[in-house]
Amino acid sequence: MTEIFKGIPEIRFEGKDSTNPLAFKYYDADRVIMGKKMSEHLPFAMAWWHNLCAAGTDMFGRDTADKSFGAAEKGTMEHAKAKVDANYPKTYIWCSESDAVVPYANSLRMIEELKKNNVPVKSLICRNVDHGVGPATGTEAQGWIDKAVEFWLKEERE
């Protein structure tokens, strides 16, 4: 997706007094806190749906953010695929065949698209777990958080 952000430089730490709107004021990736760099304590991550799909509802109304990614029509497979390229972050997906909110087939398509674009991806596919179960304690998805962190840490080392 780097072509979407042409002309925008890498965002750097400049300190709390910086007037640069595209600078970190407090996040200094190299600053050591309790024996670790900030980048180790706070690695960048995102919630795919909220960052790349939700079109923004705020005090100005609905669909306040253009998330078309150059696709002709939102909500199509073309639109979904436009969001994924080799710059997409390593992704851990857990899904359930019985999810009543996100169709299971959509998760499988996402996994397929990530693999096609050489994006590191790991998945946990469950049979009978509801949507939005948090840590999924007492379900077959229990432990997904630890598995996701293990995957991300492994990918960081490689």
Structure tokens at 83: 């969001």
Number of residues in the chain = 158
- Looking only at the bridges linking them, the beta strands covering 36-37 and 32-33 are antiparallel
Structure tokens at 75: 């909500």
Q: Contact, 1 vs 85, CB < 8 A?
A: yes
Give the predicted TM-score (pTM) of the model: 0.59
- pLDDT score at 82: 78
Structure tokens at 114: 């990530």
- pLDDT score at 55: 73
Structure tokens at 45: 């991550």
CA separation for the pair 144, 154 (Å, rounded): 15
Residue among 102, 6, 11, 115 nearest 53 (CA)? 102
- pLDDT score at 2: 47
Task: For 25-36, give one letter per residue: b (16+ CB within 10 A) or e.
Answer: eeebeeeeeeee
CA separation for the pair 20, 154 (Å, rounded): 34
Within 8 A by CB and 6+ apart from 14, the residues are 20, 23, 24, 25
CA separation for the pair 30, 49 (Å, rounded): 29
Would you give per-residue pLDDT tens digits along the chain (158 residues)?
446 667 888 889 999 999 999 899 999 999 998 898 988 887 776 666 667 677 777 777 777 777 777 777 777 777 777 778 777 888 899 999 999 888 888 889 889 989 998 999 999 999 999 888 888 899 999 999 889 988 988 887 77
